[in-house]
Each structure stands twice: as C-alpha cells, then as structure tokens.
C-alpha cells in the first residue's frame, strides 16, 4: 500500500517511533518512581545519628572546646575538666 502516496512516508514512521519510545520511557520511569516512593514511606525512621557518626560528634566537641580555649572564653582548668568529661563519656 506504500505506492498510493497518501501516507506520511518515512517521516511518519520516524515520528511514531520517537513518540512510542518517549511514551514507554515515561511510563517505565513513572512506575519506578512510584515504586520507590511507596517503598520508602513504609520504612521506619530511626532518630539519632548514623552508626559511624558518634565518634565524629565527640571529635567535633573537642575541637569546639579547643577553639573556645584558644579564644580565651574558658581558662585552662575549665578546658581540662571539660575535655576529661568528654573523653570519659566515649
């Protein structure tokens, strides 16, 4: 039937192919996004820092304490006392 010259020719086939690929791509991406959304909302949230961050938090506290001592906000006795308290609670 291609010999009737009444169709779109090759441009029509190309356009339909592109539209079909875009349609199926959007449909697959939508299903994946919906699945991820539904599975993520069902997970229970556990408050608190991740397991590896506990040591980082205490290291940051010691750094802040050292900065306060360097600026002169606290004296040497208070610095040593607070540093010992921080290290004791590890």
Q: pLDDT tens across 15-73, in order?
A: 999 999 999 999 999 999 999 988 886 555 555 555 555 555 557 888 999 999 999 99
Q: What pLDDT is stored for residue 17 in this prediction?
A: 94
Are both 6 and 36 inside the same structural domain? Answer: yes
* Torsion angle (degrees, nearest 10) of CA 35, 39, 42, 46: -140
Are both 7 and 35 inside the same structural domain? Answer: yes
Tally of structural domains, the chain = 2
33 found inside a domain: yes
Q: What pLDDT is stored for residue 5 in this prediction?
A: 60
Between 44 and 12, residue with greater pLDDT = 12
Q: What pLDDT is stored for residue 47 in this prediction?
A: 59
57 found inside a domain: yes
Q: What pLDDT is stored for residue 11 in this prediction?
A: 84
Domain interval for residue 34: 2-41
Q: What's the first-to-final CA gap in the chain, in angstroms?
A: 82
pTM of the model: 0.41
Are both 14 and 34 inside the same structural domain? Answer: yes
47 found inside a domain: no
46 found inside a domain: no
């Amino acid at each position: 039937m291609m010999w009737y010259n009444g169709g779109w020719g090759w441009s029509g086939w190309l356009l339909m192919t592109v539209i079909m690929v875009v349609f199926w791509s959007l449909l697959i991406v939508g299903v994946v996004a919906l699945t991820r959304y539904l599975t993520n909302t069902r997970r229970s949230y556990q408050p608190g820092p991740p397991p590896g961050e506990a040591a980082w938090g205490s290291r940051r506290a010691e750094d802040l304490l050292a900065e306060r001592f360097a600026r002169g906000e606290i004296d040497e006795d208070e610095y040593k006392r607070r540093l010992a308290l921080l290290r004791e609670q590890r």
